[in-house]
Amino acid sequence: MYTILDIETTGGKYNEEGITEIAIHKFDGHAVVDKFISLVNPEKEIQPFVVNLTGINNKMLRTAPKFHEVAKRIVEITEDSVLVAHNAQFDYRILRTEFRRLGYKFERKTLCTVDLSKNLLPDAESYSLGKLVRSLGIPMSERHRANGDAIATLKLFKLLLAKDIEKTIIKEVVREETHGELSQRQLDIVEQMPSETGLYYMHDKKGDILFLGKSTNIKKRINQHFTKNSDKARQLQKETKKITFEETGSELVALLKENEELSRNSPKYNANSRKKYLHALSYSTNTDGYYIFGIVPKKGNRKSITTFNSYHSAKNFLHSITEEFQLCDKLNGLSIESSNCSKFDEGLCQGACSKQETATAYNDRVLDAVKKYSIANKSILIVDKGREEGEYSAILITNGIFKGVGYYNLNHQINNIHILESIITPMSSNPSTTHIIESYLRKKRVRKIVDINT
């Protein structure tokens, strides 16, 4: 017996979501023999993006039953059955969390149609529910509503059961009731973690650090560590007796502190975990006096503008700055046109490829691009989110050299260079820190960047 399940939630912080709608179809392998569909009053506000996604709003739920009023019905309809859901770990976690709040231990075996689909439909372009059922010609209505998604999951499950001729995959994918769930000790540890940005430290019984990492949601990341199923993950779970954490507010501060502390501590399970930056963007002068960009392997102390984890990301960035600063595709090796590049005809290149723009004017824009995306020779303060309301983080760079990070509450603390230097915790400056800062600033926003020279 199976119970096909779909749940809609309020959204919000991990393990703090509430159920807004639930749909359960009891399926005996041939037909639906029972079903339960209901809106649920979560007794908390729904996140705006969820309202837009599902169409369920707070007004609709005011007169809906609360979870404790439908809990008995859920227990009865799911009893002696396997829960089936698309991304079953999510729906099962939400249900168990709600029941745990009521003091009831809800346990069922689960089956995930994402896992089944990956085994039985290996050539599918996407395993998201909407795209997958569409590709299979399965009709779907009321997307992102519990009953619409549950019916689509049921139809998908029927198809998968038909495809599972050997009946071996279902046996392998069925999860025991505790799979993906935590022991009471682990639950207690996770409960103590904040859903904030920062570093976390997994300790053994002696207090030594087994693993340290950074996350924008520490609680969620620790839960992931405890539910991973690889040999290495299980060994780390077994050896971890305590977890401590440090909030940083800023993700960039977390990245820099992680880099610093990994080099100082060398935890057992962090071996070879840091990414390597293998490619760099540099520029040189061609025979006509124009500056040209090039992607080169990053070796030793070779000077470069900025570095990348892969050639692909370096080339994407080169395309981006060529467009942003109206540079020439041909000069930058992005076009193989024999005369002028195609963008000249579109008015997006000012003619350096055919010498219709002077080298001086063109080179000025190249240098503007270099200045914007490199911290070389800059003296700046990167200001971002702090650990609490009214606090800001500060990352100090002097003459292109990373000095360290700190926190402040008042503007005079950063306007006075002596006070600023005193609140900064000194850290090592090396190619890794430069790579971390530059790659972060390319992709994400910070509150502001202050030029210290001014």
Residue 179 domain flag: no
Task: Give the least confident one: 339-343, 361-365, 388-392.
Answer: 339-343
Instruction: Identify whether 394 is part of a domain.
Output: yes
Check which CATH number belongs to the domain holding 35 and give it.
Answer: 3.30.420.10
- pLDDT, position 178: 46
> Residue 395: what pLDDT?
96
Q: Is the domain of 114 the same as that of 261?
A: no
Asked whether residue 300 falls in the same domain as residue 430, the answer is no
Task: Please give the residue range of the domain that contains residue 302.
Answer: 279-373
Whether 392 contacts 385, CB under 8 Å: yes
Domain's final residue, options 373, 394, 421: 373
Token pair listed for 1: 């017996």
Give the residue carrying structure tokens 């061609």: 286
pLDDT at 180: 52
| pLDDT at residue 372 greater than cutoff 70 | yes
Of 335, 353, 373, at which residue does a domain stop? 373
Residue 119 placed within a domain: yes
User: How far is residue 310's CA from residue 96's CA, in Å, rounded to a whole number?
Assistant: 41
- pLDDT score of 213: 94
pLDDT on residue 205: 85
User: Both 164 and 62 in a single domain?
Assistant: yes
- Indicate if 332 and 408 belong to the same structural domain: no
Average the pLDDT over each of 163-167, 208-212, 359-363, 378-382 and give the range with the smallest value. 163-167
pLDDT at 165: 64
Residues 342 and 359 in one domain: yes
pLDDT digits (tens, 9 = 90+) for 161-204: 877 765 555 555 554 444 555 677 888 888 889 999 999 999 98
CA distance 257 to 252: 9
303 has a pLDDT exceeding 80: no
Q: State yes or no: pLDDT of 273 exceeds 70.
A: no
Across 362-378, average pLDDT: 93
How many structural domains is the chain composed of?
4
Q: Model pTM greater than 0.75?
A: no
Q: Specify whether 21 is located in the same domain as 167.
A: yes
Range picked from 98-102, 206-210, 260-264, 269-273 for highest mean pLDDT? 98-102
Range with top average pLDDT, 69-78, 330-339, 340-349, 425-434 = 69-78
Establish if 178 belongs to a structural domain: no
For residue 223, give the CATH number of its domain: 3.40.1440.10
Min mean pLDDT across 98-107, 361-370, 419-428, 439-448 is at: 419-428
The DSSP bridge partners found for residue 245 are 200
- Give the pLDDT band of residue 412 (cuts 50, 70, 90): confident
Window from 58-72, 75-89, 110-124, 168-182 with minimum mean pLDDT: 168-182
Cα gap 408→421, rounded to integer Å: 11
126 in the same domain as 19: yes
Q: Residues 133, 155: one domain?
A: yes
Q: Residue 6: pLDDT band by 50, 70, 90 thresholds?
A: very high
402 and 315 belong to one structural domain: no
168 within a domain of the structure (yes/no): yes
pLDDT at 298: 78
Measured in degrees and rounded to the nearest 5, phi and psi for residue 114 equal -70, -50
Q: How confident is residue 274, by pLDDT bands cut at 50, 70 and 90? A: low
CA distance 13 to 445: 22
Please name the residues in contact with 423: beta carbons below 8 A apart, sequence gap of 6 or more.
394, 406, 407, 408, 413
